[in-house]
């Protein structure tokens, strides 16, 4: 994406309850075969670049972007049908490489939200074409722009470069493509599938201009039996300056409108052009005053597309959710001004995070329909929710302490100096650095650098913390958390003694756009204590504990809290349901942490907002007992959790 602007339960009927649970009865019937893009088709370009052609006839791509990784599998068909009912005929989708290959050489194209081929076949069953955007880099406000963090274990790694610049990166890309391309080949339109075009990289003109790199990527597809058609995606200015299109390929424009398409056609008269990212909303960072993009109106832009028969893709038509630890971040090219993205990817899109048609959806649908030979399909019924008025708030109880659930430390020869989590093979979550200080008499803690949020303890007593992202001064003062990597004064003990220093670090979203993408998590370089009596020089000889807080770790938690007054607690409560439905957990009384429901990681919450409610889809709930688990950085006493049916 272009960054140039930097619960009444009884109210549900039994049938509605089945719809919301993901029960087999919820599986919608196959789409109308008469509208299905079945059989082999020829998709290509007019010789003069003036049009896209389907089976030799001009074809307008009316696309909406959906990301399978951000949508519960049980709702894939519903969201595709919602897009179709708005007058859309094509689905654009990113493939997040790091969601498919979390460990080197271990690929998962099958479980949960990773079955890309199944999603594409669902698009075809619903009579929809597909624009495929497979990376290796996608941006997308996704952690590291979709590139696997395991590559960051190399201290000098270079990303988004060709083999000549860094063969390690391209070797990993090649391994990924050799797994991916054979799965996509039978899904191309020429082989009877719905995929019209494959995008080569993503917005590379905003990053570099190494044409050999783009050609290496294109050739991997060709070698795998997919000769095209291809296209690239860039801002108009970037593609005009850097010429980051590929030979014989189409051009997608970020933020494009009818005027930008005309300008690109003038600059590249042989290439067909589409507005590849048209923004009906915008992304939101933690700490911003509200959800961004609420005032966007695309009516005039869409009208010009429809009147001119111009092709376009709405980014996003439905945003979905950054479940787990996959939300990304933005920073400047020196990695400063860090801003992590919120968990919700609602994007103020025409279809909300929960799948509801907004007023703009209706307006855009009516506008597009005026130019179509037949009306769009009926809008699907909304997925039922747990109404906010029908379920009382829950009060969780302390369940476990992270300090009583530490794994074995890493071997000491690997932790003489503190290193980022990627060095130790961890992709996301938390990491603890522990050091015994002999004869400690106080001092000031200076860390270079904390990525991204840390709490600090001496002999179990909370001292304060560090935040890479600026937080409001009043909150920083209340929590004794420093901004901008400023040193943290530690409380002076009554007498010199051996003291245990704990630095507990959360890695938040990795930078997903720009030249500061090598964004490692944890402590990057060194830790020092300064002041009278403090040890001089960098502190060495650490114990390091890896805490990915993945499903395995959460399942293995022991119900134990040795020190209930020490922050770093898990809280738990049970929710008993007669019927299920989509809901939002309101965490507005809490500080900063993560929520799991029945083992599913809903994502992060943070009191700085603007998001205070986390989306919980009905398929992740069950009739009867449900477990809600919360980890909070700062709270030692629980606050109530209430339920809502909207994001805010």
Token pair belonging to 576: 């008993």
The confidence score (pLDDT) of residue 484 equals: 87
pLDDT at 13 over 50: no
Q: Are 159 and 516 in contact (CB under 8 A)?
A: no
Nearest to 234 by CA among 226, 247, 243: 243
pLDDT at 295 over 90: yes
The confidence score (pLDDT) of residue 532 equals: 63
Question: Parallel, antiparallel, or unpaired for β 453-458 and 497-507?
Answer: antiparallel
Q: What are phi and psi of 190, to 5 degrees?
A: -65, -20
**Cα 49 to Cα 308: distance, rounded to the nearest angstrom:** 15
Token pair belonging to 505: 């670090």
User: Prior bond to 452 cis, omega within 30?
Assistant: yes
Question: What average pLDDT does range 419-430 have in this prediction?
Answer: 98
Q: Are 526 and 535 in contact (CB under 8 A)?
A: no
**Cα 536 to Cα 532: distance, rounded to the nearest angstrom:** 10
pLDDT > 90: what percent of the chain?
89
The confidence score (pLDDT) of residue 19 equals: 32
Q: Are 158 and 170 in contact (CB under 8 A)?
A: no
The confidence score (pLDDT) of residue 492 equals: 76
In angstroms, the Cα distances linking 294 to 3, 350, 392, 413 are: 18, 10, 31, 52
pLDDT tens column, 57-102:
999 999 999 999 999 999 999 999 999 999 999 999 999 999 999 9
**Residue 218: which residues within 8 A CB-CB, separation 6 or more?**
200, 230, 246, 249
Sign of torsion over alpha carbons 112, 421, 436, 443: negative
The confidence score (pLDDT) of residue 29 equals: 35
pLDDT tens column, 157-183:
999 999 999 999 999 999 999 999 999
Nearest to 88 by CA among 144, 128, 148: 128
Question: Annotated catalytic, 201?
Answer: no
User: Prior bond to 136 cis, omega within 30?
Assistant: yes
**DSSP letter, residue 218:** H
Question: Parallel, antiparallel, or unpaired for β 522-530 and 497-507?
Answer: unpaired
State whether residue 288 is helix, strand or coil. coil
Question: Annotated catalytic, 277?
Answer: yes
pLDDT tens column, 235-291:
999 999 999 999 999 999 999 999 999 999 999 999 999 999 999 999 999 999 999
**Cα 224 to Cα 313: distance, rounded to the nearest angstrom:** 27
Q: Are 602 and 5 in contact (CB under 8 A)?
A: no
Question: What average pLDDT does range 418-432 have in this prediction?
Answer: 98
pLDDT tens column, 520-529:
999 999 999 9
The confidence score (pLDDT) of residue 159 equals: 98
**Residue 605: which residues within 8 A CB-CB, separation 6 or more?**
343, 587, 590, 592, 593, 594, 595, 611, 612, 614
CA atoms within 13 A on the CB side of 427: 19
Catalytic residue among 277, 422, 506, 607: 277
Token pair 């082989």: residue: 191
The confidence score (pLDDT) of residue 15 equals: 30
Catalytic residue among 141, 201, 203, 639: 203
State whether residue 174 is helix, strand or coil. helix
Give the pLDDT band (50/70/90) at residue 630: very high
Q: Sheet containing 453-458: which strands, arranged edge to edge?
A: 481-483, 461-467, 453-458, 497-507, 429-440, 543-547
């Amino acid at each position: 994406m272009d960054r140039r602007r930097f619960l009444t339960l009884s109210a549900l009927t039994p049938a509605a309850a089945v719809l919301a649970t993901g029960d087999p009865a919820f599986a919608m019937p196959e789409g109308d075969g008469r509208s299905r893009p079945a059989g082999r088709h020829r998709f290509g370009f007019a010789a003069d670049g003036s049009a896209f052609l389907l089976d030799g006839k001009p074809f307008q791509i009316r696309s909406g972007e959906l990301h399978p990784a951000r949508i519960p599998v049980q709702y894939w068909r519903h969201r595709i049908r919602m897009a179709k009912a708005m007058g859309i005929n094509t689905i654009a989708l990113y493939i997040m490489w790091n969601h498919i290959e979390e460990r080197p050489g271990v690929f998962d194209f099958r479980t949960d939200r990773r079955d890309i081929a199944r999603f594409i076949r669902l698009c075809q069953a619903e009579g929809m074409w597909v624009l495929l955007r497979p990376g290796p880099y996608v941006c997308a406000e996704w952690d590291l722009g979709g590139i696997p963090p395991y590559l960051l274990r190399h201290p000098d790694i270079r990303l988004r470069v060709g083999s000549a610049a860094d063969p390690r990166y391209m070797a990993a890309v090649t391994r990924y493509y050799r797994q991916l391309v054979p799965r996509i080949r039978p899904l191309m339109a020429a082989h009877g599938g719905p995929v019209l075009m494959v995008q080569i990289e993503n917005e590379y003109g905003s990053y570099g201009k190494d044409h050999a790199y783009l050609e290496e990527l294109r050739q991997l597809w060709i070698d795998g039996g997919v000769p095209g058609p291809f296209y690239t995606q860039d801002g108009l200015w970037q593609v005009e300056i850097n010429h980051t299109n590929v030979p014989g390929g189409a051009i997608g424009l970020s933020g494009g409108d009818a005027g930008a398409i005309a300008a690109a056609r003038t600059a590249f008269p042989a290439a067909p052009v589409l507005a590849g990212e048209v923004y009906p909303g915008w992304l939101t960072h933690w700490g911003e005053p509200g959800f961004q993009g609420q005032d966007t109106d695309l009516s005039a832009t869409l009208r010009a597309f429809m009147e001119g028969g111009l092709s376009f893709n709405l980014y996003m038509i439905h945003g979905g959710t950054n479940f787990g630890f996959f939300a990304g971040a933005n920073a400047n090219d020196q990695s400063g001004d860090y801003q992590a993205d919120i968990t919700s990817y609602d994007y103020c899109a025409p279809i909300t995070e929960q799948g509801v048609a907004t007023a703009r959806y209706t307006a855009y649908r009516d506008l597009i329909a005026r130019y179509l030979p037949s009306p769009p399909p009926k809008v699907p019924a909304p997925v039922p929710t747990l109404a906010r008025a029908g379920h009382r708030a829950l009060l969780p109880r302390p369940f476990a302490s992270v300090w009583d659930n530490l794994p074995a430390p890493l071997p000491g020869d690997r932790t003489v100096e503190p290193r980022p989590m990627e060095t130790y093979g961890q992709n996301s979550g938390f990491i603890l650095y522990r050091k015994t200080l002999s004869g400690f008499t106080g001092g000031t803690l200076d860390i270079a650098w904390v990525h991204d949020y840390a709490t600090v303890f001496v002999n179990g007593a909370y001292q304060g913390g560090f935040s890479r992202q600026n937080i409001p001064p009043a909150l920083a003062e209340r929590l004794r958390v420093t901004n901008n990597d400023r040193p943290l004064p530690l409380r002076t003990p009554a007498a010199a003694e051996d003291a245990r220093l704990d630095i507990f670090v959360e890695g938040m979203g990795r930078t997903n756009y720009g030249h500061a993408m090598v964004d490692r998590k944890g402590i990057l370089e060194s830790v020092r204590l300064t002041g009278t009596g403090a040890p001089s020089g960098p502190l060495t000889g650490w114990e390091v504990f890896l805490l990915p807080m993945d499903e395995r770790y959460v399942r293995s938690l022991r119900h134990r809290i040795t020190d209930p007054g020490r922050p770093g607690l898990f809280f738990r409560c049970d929710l008993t349901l007669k019927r299920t439905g989509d809901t939002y957990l309101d965490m507005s009384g809490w500080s900063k942490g993560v929520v799991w429901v029945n083992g599913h990681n809903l994502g992060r919450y943070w009191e700085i907002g603007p998001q205070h409610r986390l989306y919980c889809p009905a398929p992740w709930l069950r009739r009867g007992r449900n477990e809600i688990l919360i980890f909070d950085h700062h709270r030692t006493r629980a606050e109530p959790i209430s339920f809502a049916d909207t994001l805010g």
